[in-house]
Structure 1
């Protein structure tokens, strides 16, 4: 429940991140968000009651929702379009490697230390990040900005949070037709639709959804939705697969998942360089096909499958993830102008997290239906892996559209006469 509230708070803060970045400067925003995240980690560790812990986790989610896109904006502005792939590839190491490594470290900490250390471990990293940021990050100045659109914050933040909440309730309700699921999703979609209409009529929008009018950004973000669903779904399903079907403990599960994280860590830097050389669309097509090829065998293997074979498949899935998700992020950021990056990073992160919620909800629905129908336990996991492979294939198909658009953009750019400004 605490993690769910953190995601809801993150959805709210993502919608105002672009406005705050323009108002105070993206570097100041990132430093302030990191400081807030560090302080709220301390507050979580010393929470005297469950209610206090829930409140501080919400604040922690708000800080994380500002810190992630602000950091990506800083990196994107420093790298420029030509080096976006390799920079985002390095950033992706944390996205792919942290869940696998974190599960092992977290399990060890819970086995030998008390739970507050799960939050206190953030403190030294936060202090180191603040020291390095104050020393090395460029000081970006904020600009006079209009007042925030309060109604826009309510519609966008509340809408995104309602959608994520409704999808996350599928695991508890066990059905997409349960009122706690479909009602918040429907209301959330209506709120988001109202926000889009309001934004298109505004000269100074809170979050510039007109970026979807850029074909390459639209294609990359759409593909990222499906890729996010597959990636987050796999990250949720794999620990359950080992713990339920193989009966492994928390620490052993983390060790078993290290192959997935190591595969991603090994491949992400190379995936970034391939993106800069060949284009994110082409790399993402192959990467998402590779994920489907690595995940689909898990839908066919018996519960007592050979451990070495499982580790090989996990390592392959991790490597494929390293050349699947980040090229789409890089392509989305490279498609916009420097001053549009704050809004672009917020939109990409929102889309990925909604896609991730869809992927996790897909896993939850399949597993709950399998249990209710009296299927063999392995059958539910087989079907869930097959569904996630399908999401990867959908991401690959959407990446084909991105690849075609990038070729058109490249051809159009090449036709511009020398000396003429390029848009």
Structure 2
């Protein structure tokens, strides 16, 4: 046996097994994939805390500088649908290293940006590269891991998705305050180089296996459709209205294009993404469970730092630190749950996780007030974190466990798109509901929502804290309901360990 860790006995590109993969080799692969994924996930959140500084340094209005974040997200969503075809055309190792290299290059250029326009352009380059990293990395891990141990691999892969959104604001705040905003981008360079070196060393070179021509009509409907839909939802959330032409038109057009893609994907011989996978019970049930759960959970994540800052008077860094206990419980639970889903019926584990997450979330919601002890809030969030750890990656593992090797790229791409859309819809919904709740409880001058609150003196905001807390509590109820609704599709998850897709 060679001393250096390799992919094991399964070719990463072809997915043709020649025996059980060596555990050490798969673990090495997982470490590289997690490193690359963490870099891209952090970049979706780390920039938010720097927008105010960027607006000041570039003398740009917030409406313009916001595209530094929005442009990245849109590019990320637009390129994901292309990855399934690109994997067959270029192979997983070549495509992954190319994406990581382009992301590091985009990061370097963003760190050297000289004005708003150049920074936005380089962020789009980052997004185009970053959109391929997660689905390709997921494909590599799924193909390399034994289906009997896939839950453990998926639990490791899920760490960046859950940890990144909470570490990002804290790290970004420190770099902006103590170093320079440029380092929120430049920090990616050494991480990207390390990922490239490790990926070149550990990933086995695979032979590209193009099975069909690029579905150009599918690409021209889904990619711009996702970009327009996410743009409309995010813009509507920022403006707290979806009735203006600048918000309503792109939202409706994006939705229409996505519907057109779905129709084509279900009828075309070689679609860009094989949505026929959703017709199969285990995969479709897992996808629906994931969509509802992500919509409620990740959609509500924008509420927590706002609650801590607006109602409780915490700083941005303080709000980020208060989220750490939940991340720790989620991460620890995920590792146990990932191994457990390889041994028990997915339905039992995932339904227990959804129920526990909804219970902890509801306990937190009932305690949202202006003076609730932090220990009470953190305890409820820790319970929710345990439920999240029992739900997210076990659901993905259940969806992919018995998917044929040649359909793994399509499955990985679909499972990467679902959280993007669901979290965008959830975030927009929570933002609009919060603005309405604030306006209902503080009419007149508070009709402007959080913007009007920010314009008030600190003493006045403290005086309004009980009403603001009530508005947050009202909004959280909707998020809890979405999480609880995930129990319905979870009822149809496999009852046994080996139920085929």
Q: Please say if residues 217 and 335 of structure 1, whose CA atoms lie closer than 8 Å, have aligned partners that are also in contact.
A: no
Change (3 A) 1:408 1:282: closer
Is 1:197 the counterpart of 2:263? The answer is yes
Q: Pairwise mapping of residues 310-389 of structure 1 onto structure 2 (< 5 A)?
A: 310-375=377-442, 376-389=467-480
Shift of 1:315: 2.1
Shift of 1:410: 4.5
Q: Pairwise mapping of residues 18-417 of structure 1 onto structure 2 (< 5 A)?
A: 18-301=84-367, 302-375=369-442, 376-402=467-493, 406-407=494-495, 410=498
- Structure 2: distance between partners of 1:409 and 1:272: 13
CA-atom RMSD in angstroms = 1.8
Higher mean displacement: 177-186 or 213-222: 177-186
Between 1 and 2, higher relative CO (CA 8 Å, sep ≥ 6) is seen in: 1
Number of residue pairs matched? Answer: 410
Q: Please say if residues 214 and 335 of structure 1, whose CA atoms lie closer than 8 Å, have aligned partners that are also in contact.
A: no
Q: Which has the higher helix share?
A: 1
Change (3 A) 1:200 1:357: same
Higher mean displacement: 269-278 or 205-214: 205-214
- Structure 2: distance between partners of 1:335 and 1:239: 39
Shift of 1:145: 5.0
- Structure 2: distance between partners of 1:394 and 1:384: 16
- Structure 2: distance between partners of 1:304 and 1:138: 56
Shift of 1:249: 0.8
Higher mean displacement: 10-19 or 330-339: 330-339
- Structure 2: distance between partners of 1:243 and 1:387: 21
Shift of 1:29: 1.0
Residues 286-326 of structure 1, C-alpha deviations (whole Å, 9 max, x = no match): 11111111111232222211011122122222222111111
- Structure 1: distance between partners of 2:304 and 2:333: 20
Shift of 1:57: 0.8
TM-score (norm 2): 0.78
- Structure 2: distance between partners of 1:285 and 1:178: 40
Higher mean displacement: 244-253 or 172-181: 172-181
Change (3 A) 1:144 1:73: closer
Q: Which runs of 5+ in 2 are unaligned?
A: 1-65, 443-466
Q: Please say if residues 136 and 409 of structure 2, whose CA atoms lie closer than 8 Å, have aligned partners that are also in contact.
A: yes
- Structure 1: distance between partners of 2:478 and 2:376: 21
Report what 1:420 is aligned to.
Answer: none
Q: Please say if residues 86 and 272 of structure 1, whose CA atoms lie closer than 8 Å, have aligned partners that are also in contact.
A: yes
Shift of 1:215: 1.6
Q: Please say if residues 104 and 254 of structure 1, whose CA atoms lie closer than 8 Å, have aligned partners that are also in contact.
A: yes
Higher mean displacement: 179-188 or 391-400: 179-188
